Structure 1
Amino acid sequence: MQVKDDTKPYDSINVTPMLDLAYVLLVVFIIMTTASVQGLTMNLPKPSNKPSTEKHETKIVQVTPEGRFMINGIGVTLAELETQLQAAKARDPKLAVMVKGDPATQYARVIEVVDLVNRLQIEGLGLITARIGT
């Protein structure tokens, strides 16, 4: 009597466990990547139900596409900007600074202004945005 052996070697690999491992590694990578992203610390204003009747000085700092600074329309260097903001804060402790960056400006130049305002401990910081196409 002869025994017929129909067993064949496996010609395919079950990829389900490998895909499970790949998905777990992908999730771990996403979680670790987003956890290491650092941002800026900003004190955002709290909304109130009553309108404020107080009037405080406001300075508008614009960053041009070439990376130059303008305060209320007058071109200044970063050092001049710092002295003008210090003087304005001495006059009005609740000074507000609005930063307007051109879309073609390097983002680092806008961050220099934000860092300067934070270093001078000016609490009223705002970012001016414009709609695309206006």
Structure 2
Amino acid sequence: MQVQDDTRPYDSINVTPMLDLAYVLLVVFILMTTASVQGLTVNMPKPSNKPSTEKHELKVVQVMADGALLLNGAAISMADLERQLADARARDPKMSVAIKGDARTHYAKVVAVIDLCNKLEVGMGLVTSRIGT
């Protein structure tokens, strides 16, 4: 019996396992990239370059730290606020309300004012300030 001694070096490298790994990594990269792009679609309003010539009534409602309500700087109860906003809406259907909530107040008080504006179908906005100002 004769044993063959084949000690020649290999001429080529089998690259099939490396290609399989590269394809798997490519597929994982594609899946992870498309998964991170998904989210909510939001249509932002477009700004208008035309100045508004219409003047509508604006009421400012402040929710103080202790939960007290101010309408244009004057103290008011929730029932009176509802009555005054309903009267203002009857005079001007496009009137709006700016809501300023103190940072130390309970959020439920601000939500109550927002719910009131929704109930009366009054346009509203939340007044914010820049961080650090």
Q: TM (normalized to structure 2)?
A: 0.63
**Aligned-pair identity (%):** 58
Counterpart position of 1:118: 118
- Kindly provide the amino acid, as one letter, of the partner of residue 69 in structure 2: F
Partners in 1 of 2:45 and 2:114 — Cα distance?
16
Taking the aligned partners of 1:96 and 1:46, their CA distance within structure 2 comes to 20
Which letter does structure 1 place at the counterpart of 2:127? I
Q: Secondary structure at the match of 2:99?
A: strand
- Alignment partners' CA distance in 2, 1:96 and 1:45: 18
Quote the Cα distance in structure 1 between the aligned partners of 2:72 and 2:51.
25
Gaps of 5+ in 2: 1-43
SS in 2 for 1:126: strand
Question: What corresponds to 1:109 in structure 2?
Answer: 109
In the other structure, the counterpart of 1:128 is: 127
Aligned pairs for 1:1-134 within 5 A: 47-122=47-122, 124-134=123-133
Q: Which ranges in structure 1 are unaligned for 5 or more consecutive residues? A: 1-43
Report Cα offsets for 1:1-30 as digits up to 9, x if no partner: xxxxxxxxxxxxxxxxxxxxxxxxxxxxxx
Distance 1:75 1:69 in 2: 6
Instruction: Report the TM-score, using the length of structure 1 for normalisation.
Output: 0.63
**Number of residue pairs matched?**
90
Larger radius of gyration: 2
